[in-house]
Amino acid sequence: MRTQSAQFKDIVETIYDLPLEARLELQNLLEHNIAEARRNEIAGNYKKSQKELETGSLEFSSNLNDLKKML
Protein backbone atom coordinates (compact mmCIF):
# COMPACT_ATOMS: atom_id res chain seq x y z
CA MET A 1 0.00 0.00 0.00
CA ARG A 2 1.33 3.42 -0.93
CA THR A 3 1.77 6.13 1.64
CA GLN A 4 -0.23 9.31 1.55
CA SER A 5 2.91 11.36 0.97
CA ALA A 6 3.74 9.28 -2.11
CA GLN A 7 0.20 9.71 -3.41
CA PHE A 8 0.38 13.46 -2.74
CA LYS A 9 3.70 13.67 -4.57
CA ASP A 10 2.17 11.87 -7.57
CA ILE A 11 -0.80 14.25 -7.57
CA VAL A 12 1.49 17.29 -7.45
CA GLU A 13 3.62 15.95 -10.29
CA THR A 14 0.50 15.26 -12.35
CA ILE A 15 -0.73 18.80 -11.73
CA TYR A 16 2.63 20.26 -12.74
CA ASP A 17 2.37 18.35 -16.01
CA LEU A 18 -1.01 19.88 -16.87
CA PRO A 19 -1.27 22.75 -19.33
CA LEU A 20 -1.44 26.22 -17.79
CA GLU A 21 -5.16 26.62 -18.54
CA ALA A 22 -5.98 23.38 -16.71
CA ARG A 23 -3.84 24.42 -13.72
CA LEU A 24 -5.62 27.78 -13.57
CA GLU A 25 -9.00 26.03 -13.63
CA LEU A 26 -7.83 23.69 -10.86
CA GLN A 27 -6.69 26.71 -8.84
CA ASN A 28 -10.13 28.28 -9.26
CA LEU A 29 -11.86 25.06 -8.19
CA LEU A 30 -9.65 24.69 -5.12
CA GLU A 31 -10.15 28.31 -4.08
CA HIS A 32 -13.93 27.90 -4.24
CA ASN A 33 -13.74 24.57 -2.41
CA ILE A 34 -11.60 26.05 0.37
CA ALA A 35 -13.91 29.07 0.71
CA GLU A 36 -16.93 26.77 0.99
CA ALA A 37 -15.17 24.65 3.63
CA ARG A 38 -14.37 27.79 5.65
CA ARG A 39 -17.99 28.97 5.40
CA ASN A 40 -19.15 25.59 6.67
CA GLU A 41 -16.66 25.75 9.53
CA ILE A 42 -17.83 29.25 10.48
CA ALA A 43 -21.49 28.16 10.31
CA GLY A 44 -20.72 25.18 12.54
CA ASN A 45 -18.97 27.40 15.06
CA TYR A 46 -21.94 29.76 15.02
CA LYS A 47 -24.38 26.92 15.66
CA LYS A 48 -22.19 25.62 18.48
CA SER A 49 -22.03 29.06 20.10
CA GLN A 50 -25.81 29.45 19.77
CA LYS A 51 -26.30 26.17 21.65
CA GLU A 52 -23.83 27.30 24.32
CA LEU A 53 -25.73 30.59 24.65
CA GLU A 54 -29.06 28.76 24.97
CA THR A 55 -27.71 26.41 27.66
CA GLY A 56 -25.99 29.22 29.53
CA SER A 57 -22.53 27.70 29.13
CA LEU A 58 -21.21 30.52 26.96
CA GLU A 59 -18.85 32.77 28.92
CA PHE A 60 -17.99 36.40 28.21
CA SER A 61 -15.16 38.45 29.63
CA SER A 62 -13.14 41.56 28.86
CA ASN A 63 -10.43 40.56 31.33
CA LEU A 64 -7.36 39.41 29.42
CA ASN A 65 -6.31 36.92 32.09
CA ASP A 66 -9.77 35.37 32.14
CA LEU A 67 -9.76 35.10 28.35
CA LYS A 68 -6.41 33.30 28.43
CA LYS A 69 -7.81 30.82 30.96
CA MET A 70 -10.80 30.15 28.70
CA LEU A 71 -8.46 29.02 25.93
Task: Decide: 61 and 70 in contact? Cβ < 8 Å.
Answer: yes
Q: Which letter, b or e, does each residue of 2-17 get, where b requires 16 or more Cβ atoms within 10 Å of its Cβ? A: eeeeeeeeeeeeeeee
The pLDDT value recorded for residue 70 is: 75
pLDDT tens digits, one per residue of 5-49: 889 999 999 999 999 999 999 999 999 999 999 999 999 999 999
The pLDDT value recorded for residue 60 is: 78
Nearest Cα to Cα of residue 30 among 42, 17, 12: 12
The pLDDT value recorded for residue 61 is: 78
Residues of the chain with pLDDT > 90, as a percent, come to 63
The pLDDT value recorded for residue 1 is: 59
